[in-house]
């Protein structure tokens, strides 16, 4: 199964005998609310125009549990996630294509959750909505109820202890910006820095200027230079388990399996007993 799909291929598949279920997961990590400005409204963006037939899914409310001790975007309740997916028309026998506004992080979060809970055929629209050249619609579809029942565990998931162990025994990639990894700045979480032993691997370096993924061979070369390959045990974390899912997706494009530490730095750094490394050195 391929992890991404081009807009041209999606347009073709939508006219086929078994068209994919479309999920619109537009979302942005924004500090605007803290500054008193309106936060990004993905539902409003969806209402203004989306790929025909797409169903909106809210990342903060439907692809995550409320923030708490397990981070800013803890995994959603499995039963609740399944109900959301079924309302969106997700079935086991139909492919699913997920897209967002172009950054790819939110779409990757939905992709990873569906893969983790056992859906056999999920892809992300490479480049997101900006890559789509077809018409947009403001009609809100009412799909037939799907039959998807989540069965967690189909792909790798790490907790804090597992991430710490993997940083010593395998390869743990930190998908955040380099300045947050080094601890130069930390605009969101309690303290800056990284999990000791983790390697800096900003997910923004996996895509071209248009938001599309680099070719698979280029991604393989990049990850190999960081110690990640098909033969290594690889894990990824980020700030709260969103951009980290995008890096897991990039690794999948490169043919490398990786586990996600869903709690990520927002969970790790909230516990004062956990060690924090700073600077460019992994240790």
Q: Which residues of 224-262 are buried (b: 16+ CB within 10 A; e: fewer)?
A: eeeebeeebebbbbbbbbbbbbbbbbbbbbbebebbbbb
In terms of phi and psi (left: phi > 0; alpha: psi -120 to 50; beta: otherwise), the region of 237 is: beta
* Residue 162 near residue 261, CB atoms below 8 Å: yes
* Alpha-carbon span 175 to 204, nearest angstrom: 8
* Alpha-carbon span 277 to 197, nearest angstrom: 8
Match 């479309």 to its residue by tokens.
22
* Alpha-carbon span 267 to 195, nearest angstrom: 11
* 111's tokens: 């992709």
> 238 catalytic, yes or no?
yes
Annotated catalytic residue within 198, 238, 251, 270: 238
Q: So which residues are the catalytic ones? A: 238
């Amino acid at each position: 199964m391929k992890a991404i799909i081009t807009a041209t291929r999606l347009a073709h598949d939508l006219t086929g005998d078994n068209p994919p279920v479309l999920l619109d997961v537009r979302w942005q990590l924004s500090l605007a609310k803290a500054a008193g400005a309106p936060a990004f409204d993905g539902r409003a963006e969806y209402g203004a125009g989306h790929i025909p037939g797409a169903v909106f899914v809210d990342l903060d409310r439907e692809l995550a549990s409320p923030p708490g001790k397990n981070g800013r975007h803890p995994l959603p309740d499995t039963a609740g996630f399944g109900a959301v997916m079924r309302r969106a028309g997700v079935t086991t026998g139909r492919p699913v294509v997920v897209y967002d506004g172009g950054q790819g992080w939110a779409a990757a979060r939905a992709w990873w959750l569906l893969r983790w809970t056992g859906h056999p055929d999920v892809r992300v629209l490479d480049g997101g909505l900006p890559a789509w050249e077809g018409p947009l619609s403001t009609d809100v579809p009412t799909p037939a109820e799907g039959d998807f029942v989540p069965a967690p565990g189909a792909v790798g998931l790490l907790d804090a202890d597992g991430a710490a162990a993997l940083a010593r025994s395998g390869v743990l990639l930190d998908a955040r910006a380099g300045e947050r990894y080094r601890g130069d700045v930390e605009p969101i979480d309690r303290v800056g820095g990284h999990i000791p032993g983790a390697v800096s691997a900003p997910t923004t370096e996996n895509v071209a200027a248009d938001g599309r993924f680099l070719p698979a061979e280029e991604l393989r070369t990049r990850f190999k230079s960081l110690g990640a390959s098909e033969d290594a045990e690889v894990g990824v974390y980020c700030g709260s388990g969103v951009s980290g899912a995008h890096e897991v997706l990039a690794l999948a494009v490169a043919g490398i399996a990786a586990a996600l530490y869903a709690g990520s730095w927002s969970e790790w750094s909230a516990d004062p007993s956990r060690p924090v490394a700073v600077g460019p050195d992994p240790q």
